[in-house]
A = this chain, B = another copy of it.
Amino acid sequence: MSKTSPGNFFEDFRVGQIIKHATPRTVTTGDVALYTALYGTRFAVQSSDAFAQSIGYPRAPVDDLLVFHIVFGKTVPDISLNAVANLGYANCRMLKPVYPGDTLNAVSEVIGLKENSSRKTGIVFVRSTGWQRDGALVLEYVRWVMVRKRDENAAALGDHVPRLPTALDAKLLGEACPPIKAQDYDYGLAGSPCRWSDYEIGEKIDHVDGMTVEEAEHQLATRLYQNTARIHFNQFIEAQGRFKRRLIYGGHVISLARALSFNGLANAFHVAAINGGRHVAPLFAGATVFAWSEVIDKTELPNRTDVGALRVRTIATADHPCGDFPAKRGEDDDPAVILDLDYWVVLPR
């Protein structure tokens, strides 16, 4: 019996296949402290037990993206160890708040397969789900990833491409946000007077600040999530590869952009869903990440007067301040845009 796993190749996947992922993980206040040290996040609900309790949480919940990264990390050894590229996310929904002490597990279902015309690779679509020890679901998302074939001559089983909505319906949002006592939400402590009603569709916000990324930082982050994708850690191999460098985990960019977005979206305390996300270009250590956001939709939530939702598009760039709201990559070798993220956040009304 082979003791090491070579990971799955394109021809190993079947539509309908269920893959239970390894390494359950108990999230702790240690993980939360590291997450703060890695990104400098300042959302009051996640930062303070006292603040969270004042609006009705039992204690400070774990940052939604930390939960996402831990669940995502578990899927890597089975889904994307032989990936060429992570192509996109969709339909990511937070279903339940997670607190320190909770244990996270992950399972994926293969929901689509499409061989590429080169016959060297194919696209695998999976719906991954994070769940707690009692079986309660905490998050689900779809991602699609280009995976190598082990054998170019292996027969494909026929394409099956799932239909995915462009954005999650607002009726499906908010389950991971308990009812809050909006009247007790302290806007002074939270860092901004701007509530849900203060934002308008079409409004653009430059988040101003920039954060330079070091190799040690993204490695610490990605290992914290027990994400083993080789391209993030192995300079000896990557030096011989396409980029000559270690590639930074895309989720690290998402968390940096989210932390930067505090300056402009301080009361958007909860990421309820990710409609879609694209890593437009790779990020490497030494670059400085900037971000800006546009409010692209706004909605009440069913049966709730405490909070409302904004659909936000956040663009992150490398070495390019966002005062000019760049939405495309620049000419030639300008790295400019690296992330284009479409998501729903929840704010007090």
B contact residues around A224 at 8 Å (CB): 33, 36-37
| A237 to chain B: closest residue by CB | B210
Bound-state CA distance A101–B33 (Å) is 12
Q: List 5 A-B pairs, Cβ < 8 Å.
A: A4-B207, A22-B190, A26-B49, A30-B31, A216-B217
CB atoms of A1 and B194 under 8 A apart:
yes
Q: Of A38-46, A113-121, A143-151, A175-183, which binds chain B?
A: A38-46
A103 touches which one: B48, B223, B235 (CB < 8 A)? B48
Interface residues of A in 24-66 (CB under 8 A from B): 24-26, 28-34, 36-40, 42, 44, 47-51, 60
B contact residues around A234 at 8 Å (CB): 209-212, 288
Judge if A192 is at the interface, Cβ distance under 8 Å. Answer: yes
B contact residues around A303 at 8 Å (CB): none
B contact residues around A341 at 8 Å (CB): none
CB atoms of A50 and B103 under 8 A apart:
yes
Interface residues of A in 136-173 (CB under 8 A from B): none
Most interface-central of A34, A37, A190, A233 (chain B CB within 10 A):
A37
Judge if A264 is at the interface, Cβ distance under 8 Å. Answer: yes
CB atoms of A233 and B209 under 8 A apart:
yes
CB atoms of B28 and A42 under 8 A apart:
no
CB atoms of B212 and A233 under 8 A apart:
yes
B contact residues around A212 at 8 Å (CB): 215, 219, 233-236, 246
Judge if A319 is at the interface, Cβ distance under 8 Å. Answer: yes
B contact residues around A214 at 8 Å (CB): 214-216, 219
Judge if A331 is at the interface, Cβ distance under 8 Å. Answer: no
